[in-house]
Chain A
Amino acid sequence: NAGVTQTPKFRVLKTGQSMTLLCAQDMNHEYMYWYRQDPGMGLRLIHYSVGEGTTAKGEVPDGYNVSRLKKQNFLLGLESAAPSQTSVYFCASRGEGSNQPQHFGDGTRLSIL
């Protein structure tokens, strides 16, 4: 039972490069989320999705785009990477029903030089 899988686990980019982070869940969850984690700041919500084909902005959406073309996948894109986007990125998903908790992937460590 894989749960939430994030690809890649590590990546180093140069400023201005683009990349896409992939999140896949095998729990048939409706809701999916992208967070970034920075030292001393906890997790901050970037974008989220309440179902296939939907996306919404979170707390820190600038510089990121997302897509949810398939229910099981949630992609996070950086069009032009900046050093300020160096962070650890976490994906999470949760099932239908307001009493369901979020389940997290193991994270993607991204460094922008």
Chain B
Amino acid sequence: AQSVTQPDIHITVSEGASLELRCNYSYGATPYLFWYVQSPGQGLQLLLKYFSGDTLVQGIKGFEAEFKRSQSSFNLRKPSVHWSDAAEYFCAVSNFGNEKLTFGTGTRLTIIP
């Protein structure tokens, strides 16, 4: 069965600083990987996805993620965070055929001035 680990429950970053959120997955084949963002009281919005090809994927709002098969990781990065990036971030992995998603427990991001 597939699983996702987000080891950081809560991260605090200064506005303008760089950001990296960690995600490790467990899956027996080539995974489909996603990052979603959730603002308070809202649903989840897709930031980016990886299915195949280039291991560095670009998403919305200036985010990017890199798939590293050898480390079973799909870390999310942003070079300079903005106060509006404060939210909860979820990594997810899909089974073959992308029928079902398994989510990590999320990382809450706080931005300080």
User: Footprint of B on A, CB under 8 Å?
Assistant: 4, 31, 33, 35, 40-45, 48, 50, 58, 90, 92, 94, 98-107
Contacts and interface: CB of A to CB of B under 8 A. Distances in A.
B100 A104 contact: no
Contacts of A102: 46, 101
Interface stretch (B13-21, B37-45, B66-74, B77-85): B37-45
A105 B41 CA distance: 11
A14 to B, nearest CB: 25
Contacts of A43: 44, 90, 101, 103
Contacts of B43: 4, 90, 104-107
Contact of B49 (A35, A90, A101): A101
A50 B98 CA distance: 11
B90 A31 contact: no
Contacts of B49: 99, 101
Interface residues of B, number: 23
B99 A50 contact: yes
Given A4-B43, A45-B102, A106-B42, 18 more contacts: A31-B99, A33-B100, A33-B101, A40-B9, A42-B90, A42-B105, A43-B103, A44-B103, A45-B101, A90-B43, A90-B44, A92-B44, A94-B98, A98-B98, A101-B46, A104-B43, A104-B44, A106-B43
Contacts of A42: 90, 103-106
B52 to A, nearest CB: 9
A104 B39 CA distance: 13
B97 A41 contact: no
22 contacts: A33-B101, A42-B90, A42-B103, A42-B105, A43-B44, A43-B103, A45-B100, A45-B101, A48-B99, A90-B43, A90-B44, A98-B32, A100-B98, A101-B34, A101-B49, A102-B46, A103-B46, A104-B43, A106-B41, A107-B41, A107-B42, A107-B43
